[in-house]
Amino acid sequence: MTDDAHKPDHSTEPSRRRFLRQVGQRTVAAGTTAAMLNGLGGASAAEASDRQVKRRVLGKTGLKVSEIGIGGHSWAYKQVPDGSGGMRVPTVDEAVEMIAAAMEMGVNFLDSCSALSESSTPGEALKRLKARDKFIVSIRVSHKMKGRKQDQEEIYKWTEDRLKLWQTDCVDLCLLCNTENDTPESGYWDMSYSIEALDKLKQQGKIRYTGFGCHFTPALFLKAFDKFGDDFDICSIPYNVRHIAAKTILPAAKKKKLGVITIKPFARGSLLKKRDLAGADAGLPRDMISYVLEDENVDCCTCGVHTVEQVRENFSASWTGLTPDRRERLGLAAATPCPGYRWLEEGWRYV
């Protein structure tokens, strides 16, 4: 595997842009329609293609990551109408269009889903686009880890599995990822055995950098930074206009020079459900990402998307600032309860 994703500013390579113009003809047309519909300033396709998602340094990895990335839930959850009243996951063709559109905007980060729900779709899409080396790819490997020797076999198994799904021999980021129910203490466990396994995978050239992104409470994240922060390169933490407790713990992550990838900018869409996105709330998803990006401790905000229109809107947050009116609108949206998200609502709301 070549290393292009780890060099800065591929976004301006003329040959790549030519390639993307061919691949993305249909996506540019779709994006133009979306821009007109959702009040994103009515930029022409030519103007839009000149706007690039900015990059930030991903902590101690030194990687230059686009400040917005595509979340792995995009491919795993049924969010696309199937035409018969049901919902389906995006097809590989649709993923190719979405990833090509994002790539054209300068995006170079593909996040994973939770370990149990990873999909083969983004790997296949990258193969078709011949773009594996243009992206920083992240996988999540663990589940129900308990802080014992057997954890290592779990990690090896998950990693081999993920390498196959992504059709690659090496992934850039490998994150440990327990959920709140996996261990007695809200997902927290002794990571020493896991770290040994990750070191071995690094030596074998299967992963480059490591991190953790679990359903810990903020207090347990602090404990993990303190105890294991020197052993990892990045962390992945929920952060949106309503669930703002990340503000209280990110300085500690940065002290350990951890790269910070935030997840759930819309609380998996819950914060958008009661909004008039085609009318008065047009552009709200973009503004929710802009809000997260205002925090200088954030290196990359990943969002779930399932249409090219969502790609075009969400990634435009990189060059769209927040006006007083938009801030006021965000405040109203932040008051929306998310009853389906107990761990976020109980643990992550307050600073």
Ligand X SMILES: NC(=O)c1ccc[n+]([C@@H]2O[C@H](COP(=O)([O-])OP(=O)(O)OC[C@H]3O[C@@H](n4cnc5c(N)ncnc54)[C@H](OP(=O)(O)O)[C@@H]3O)[C@@H](O)[C@H]2O)c1
Binding site for ligand X (CB under 6 A): 71-74, 79, 111-114, 140, 177, 213, 263-269, 272, 277, 285, 302-306, 310, 313-314
Provide, rounded to whole angstroms, the least separation between the CB of residue 15 and ligand X.
30
Provide, rounded to whole angstroms, the least separation between the CB of residue 73 and ligand X.
3
- Identify which of residues 138 and 168 has a Cβ nearer to ligand X in the complex: 138
- Identify which of residues 104 and 180 has a Cβ nearer to ligand X in the complex: 180
Residue 138, strand partner residues: 173
Provide, rounded to whole angstroms, the least separation between the CB of residue 48 and ligand X.
15
Residue number, nearest CB to ligand X: 71
Beta strands in 38-184 (DSSP E): 55-57, 64-66, 68-70, 80-81, 87-88, 109-110, 136-140, 171-176
Pair 56, 50: CB distance under 8 Å: no
Phi-psi region for residue 160, left (φ > 0), alpha (ψ -120 to 50) or beta? Answer: alpha
- Identify which of residues 6 and 73 has a Cβ nearer to ligand X in the complex: 73
- Identify which of residues 10 and 73 has a Cβ nearer to ligand X in the complex: 73
Provide, rounded to whole angstroms, the least separation between the CB of residue 9 and ligand X.
24
- Identify which of residues 213 and 259 has a Cβ nearer to ligand X in the complex: 213
- Identify which of residues 252 and 303 has a Cβ nearer to ligand X in the complex: 303
Query: What one-character-per-residue DSSP string does 270-295 give?
Result: GGGTTS-TTTTTTTHHHHHHHHHHTS
Pairing of strands 87-88, 109-110: unpaired
SS3 assignment, position 345: helix
Pair 24, 96: CB distance under 8 Å: no
CA distance 54 to 316: 10
CA distance 157 to 45: 44
Comparing CA positions, the residue from 28, 36, 31, 30 lying closest to residue 278 is 36
- Identify which of residues 9 and 185 has a Cβ nearer to ligand X in the complex: 185
Pair 159, 206: CB distance under 8 Å: yes
Provide, rounded to whole angstroms, the least separation between the CB of residue 174 and ligand X.
12
Provide, rounded to whole angstroms, the least separation between the CB of residue 312 and ligand X.
9
